[in-house]
Amino acid sequence: MNIRSEIIDIESNIISWRRDFHRYPELGFEEHRTSKVIGELLKSFGLSPKMNVGKTGVTADIDFGDGPTIALRADMDALPMQETSGLEFASKNDGVMHACGHDGHMAMLLGAAQVLSQSQNGLKGKIRFIFQPAEEGAGGARYMINDGCLDSVDEIYGIHIWNYQPVGEVGVKEGPVLAAADMFDITIKGIGGHGAAPQGTVDTIIVASHLIQAFQTIISRNTNPLESAVITVGEIKGGHNFNIISDEVKLSGTVRAYKEEYRQLIKSRMVDIITGVENMFGAEISFHYEDGYPPTINHELPVKNVLKAAEKVVGEKAGMPYLSMGGEDFAYYLQQIPGCFFFVGSAPNEKKLFETPHHCSHFTMDERALLVGPSVYLNLIEDLLGNLN
């Protein structure tokens, strides 16, 4: 790998920042310490951060004069999980953990900001650093947009460290890279009774099992097998005792798809199935479906820009995408302006891929990835703002 010398010079800073953020994680819209630390660091670089953007977000600009404005974004929030990684810098906040790499995202963007704040490379244009709260479900990007973080911005770029790729790979592609992420809740009401006398009941657990099985036929029989879509029932609540037929069961889950037409198809077919099962068993079923993040869809020219910048860092290992059915609120930025969201391989050293997946309690990363990301950012900014004659 060709890591930028400026990044190598501040490697210890980047790692230290990441570990500090990891040690003190905060949930969405509660990133008060995190944003304070970021603001103080940006000030130490000679920048003038704008605080409390999108509630707890931070932005800062570097102005090199006339030219385009390029935004670089990192998310800040952690997850409501108890950490079991055993790391020396494991979370000190009970029940909260950086289990998706946002600690690394912030550290990488701070590294790029420190180097660019000292740049004497004849750049022309403006760079906006966006530190966004509440990516994990609350849609912090929308709050940032509403507070003007994209005002006058021409293009936006973002990184996600990726434990499903080894260090030294950068995943980037045009078009959809992450799926829409919708949610649903179902409440089934029936008639409870004794487990030995089911004939007078409406067994909500039986009803729930039929729904769960039938939903999977939407994927296997209503969507194109060459297209990706997922329905997952992730939570079931019901029952009181081994010999009691429950009168209520609650289900909740998620729907993932790259195409808007599939989001609508799946929702419609779920309604059809619920109506049919309701009639078949005589149950009363309520269904709430919430549209979540839209698909994350990269734009053609920004993808080419990232690919060019990444090739200078990792060579032929640039452009090796690992597509995911995960969701990201970076999608909202890409609905407003051109941009690219890309992945930096971070699978822990000497570990098999998928052994420490995102959102698991023992999540960690190979910290060598923390040098790849900002190196790509620096090459990207030089390419975009350094060739404007």
* DSSP secondary structure string for all residues of 191-223: B-EETT-GGG-B-HHHHHHHHHHHHHHIIIIIS
Cβ neighbours of 271 (radius 10 Å):
12
Residue 260 has a CB neighbour count (10 Å cut-off) of 11
Query: Of 200, 186, 185, 187, which Cα lies nearest the Cα of 245?
Result: 200
Would you call 165 helix, strand, or coil by DSSP?
A: coil
Beta carbons within 8 Å of 134's beta carbon, 6+ residues apart: 28, 29, 31, 54, 55, 56, 77, 140, 143
- Residue 182 tokens read as 């919708």
Q: Cα dist. 247→193, 201, 241, 243, 283 in Å?
A: 8, 8, 12, 13, 10
- Confirm if 265 and 222 have CB atoms less than 8 A apart: yes
Structure tokens at 110: 């701070």
Residue 157's SS3 state is: strand
Rg (C-alpha) for the chain, rounded Å, is 23
Instruction: Identify the three-state secondary structure at position 339.
Output: strand
- DSSP H helical ranges for the chain: 5-9, 11-23, 32-44, 102-117, 140-146, 204-217, 260-281, 300-314, 330-336, 369-385
Q: Are 332 and 145 in contact (CB under 8 A)?
A: yes
Half-sphere exposure of 332 (CA within 13 A, CB side): 20
Active site residue 135: yes
Q: How many Å separate Cα 362 from the centre of its chain?
A: 18
**Are the C-beta atoms of residues 23 and 89 closer than 8 Å to each other?**
yes
In terms of Cα–Cα distance, which of 184, 129, 150 is closest to 332?
150
- Single out the catalytic residue among 30, 75, 77, 182: 77
| Catalytic one of 31, 83, 135, 169 | 135
Sequence letter at residue 101: G
**Active-site amino acid positions:** 77, 135
